[in-house]
Homo-oligomer: A and B are copies of this chain.
Amino acid sequence: MFAEIITIGDELLIGQVVDTNSAWIGHELNCIGIEVLRITSVRDRKEEIVEAIDSAMERANIVLMTGGLGPTKDDITKQVLCDYFQTELIFNDTVLANIKRILGDRVPINGLNQSQAMVPKDCEVINNRVGTASVSWFERHGKVLVSMPGVPQEMKVVMSEEILPRLQKYSTNDYIVHKTFLVKNYPESVLAETLEPWETALPECIKLAYLPKLGIIRLRLTARGENENILLDTLEKESLKLKEILKLNIMADSDLSLEQLIGIKLKDKGLTVATAESCTGGNIAARITSIPGCSSYFKGSVVAYSNEIKTRVLGVNEGVLNSKGAVSEETVIEMVKGAMSCMNTDCAIATSGIAGPDGGTKDKPVGTVWIAVAYKDEIRTMKQSINRGREMNIERAGNNAFMLLLDIL
């Protein structure tokens, strides 16, 4: 059973907006055994949308579309679908009632809102409980096409509550099972060489993929076949062999983020953490707090972007700061100690570096980041010295800090 995704909107093509809908939908479909063949993004033009629908309906049994359902003139998806399926727009009471409920007293209902209550005839109209754009479900010759709003949070609610449960009955007998390992300490080519004998001997039903990102490689095993138990067994056996080869370089045997791993470890041990961040500017704290329930182990953070805050709030020794500089092992050690004592935690993370694009010197070029982690009386440090641009330098520093903390715990 194959699906395709079509995302609609000029903003995607001119790069004003990144299409995050497709990855989310792909992941969810995969979980219920439906494989996505292709993702297509097209502009808000009738003929281009029609061409995309046409070829997707030819290849796949299920076509999921997002976008182009807003109340404004640039949004044309509903009318295009009517033309494509040779039907027309009709007024729908339930949809209007929903629009009124969503807009509440804040917004007066106007003609444009009314137009959102016009929906294609000859399709099932599905309510969108968190937005004003309704969902259209078309079934023709055993194939399904669903048009959903492009706003990610609306699409997610509609997919989870309405579309995925309905699609489950279309799922084939083929099971798809993924298992992902987080691997550290390996460049991609060295890892691939190390794994080659094992990879070559993998059974037919298992496929291996390498996903390297800023110092970590995610290894994904995908098993596909008719018998779920056999798949799980085979995957388990191969996983054991893989663990035997990579040993402690495997940080996790599921597709978790480093911040999720940190959270699990700290919760298990009943420990608390704080961060003291200079160049990462709150990014590490933000990653920790992206995990629901982090309040049981995360107490807080001091983002000491200026030296004044380093001394004033974290109590970094001014002499050290002046003699060694803000980007130094000595300063980052002072910072991690300061974080622990000022926020009274069991462990802490500290960073200080030059994220770029400016501010580098010959001794400390852009990309230099000193990282320290502390757990009770133990402190470990590392120096990061790769420059891949501000954003990546900051993200990599977070990755390294999390890996260092996992090591020390």
Residues of chain A having any CB pair with chain B under 8 Å: 10-20, 22-28, 30, 35-44, 48, 52, 55, 70-74, 103, 106-108, 110-113, 116, 130, 132, 151, 153, 156, 178, 180, 187-190, 192-193, 199, 207-212, 218, 220, 222, 255, 275, 277, 279-286, 288-290, 292-295, 298-306, 308-309, 312-313, 342-344, 355-359, 388-392, 394
Contacts and interface: CB of A to CB of B under 8 A. Distances in A.
Contact of A15 (B24, B73, B289, B309): B24
B41 A22 contact: yes
A77 to B, nearest CB: 14
26 contacts: A12-B39, A13-B35, A14-B36, A14-B222, A15-B25, A16-B180, A19-B39, A37-B43, A38-B41, A38-B43, A70-B210, A72-B192, A153-B392, A280-B286, A280-B289, A281-B294, A282-B284, A282-B289, A282-B303, A283-B289, A290-B390, A293-B358, A295-B359, A303-B303, A312-B343, A313-B313
Nearest to A130: B388
A130 B389 CA distance: 11
Given A275-B282, A308-B343, 8 more contacts: A15-B23, A40-B41, A107-B187, A281-B285, A281-B288, A281-B290, A289-B303, A301-B303
A11 B37 CA distance: 12
A15 B11 contact: no
A12 B23 contact: yes
A306 B302 contact: no
Contacts of A190: 107-108, 110
Contacts of A218: 16
A26 B15 contact: yes
Contacts of A300: 302-306, 309, 313
Contacts of A22: 12, 15, 18-19, 41
Contacts of A212: 70, 151
B211 A17 contact: yes
A38 B48 contact: yes
Contacts of A25: 15
Contacts of A73: 192, 199, 208
Contacts of A74: 207-210
A22 B15 CA distance: 7
A310 to B, nearest CB: 8
A193 B14 contact: no
B19 A23 contact: yes
A11 B199 CA distance: 18
B38 A52 contact: yes
B193 A112 contact: yes
A188 B70 CA distance: 8
A189 B15 contact: no
B391 A290 contact: yes
Nearest to A26: B15
Contacts of A359: 295
Nearest to A190: B107
Nearest to A99: B189
B52 A26 contact: no
9 cross-chain pairs, A with B, having the tightest CB-CB distances, nearest first: A281-B289, A15-B27, A282-B285, A282-B282, A15-B26, A301-B303, A300-B309, A39-B41, A15-B23
Nearest to A199: B73
A293 B355 CA distance: 10
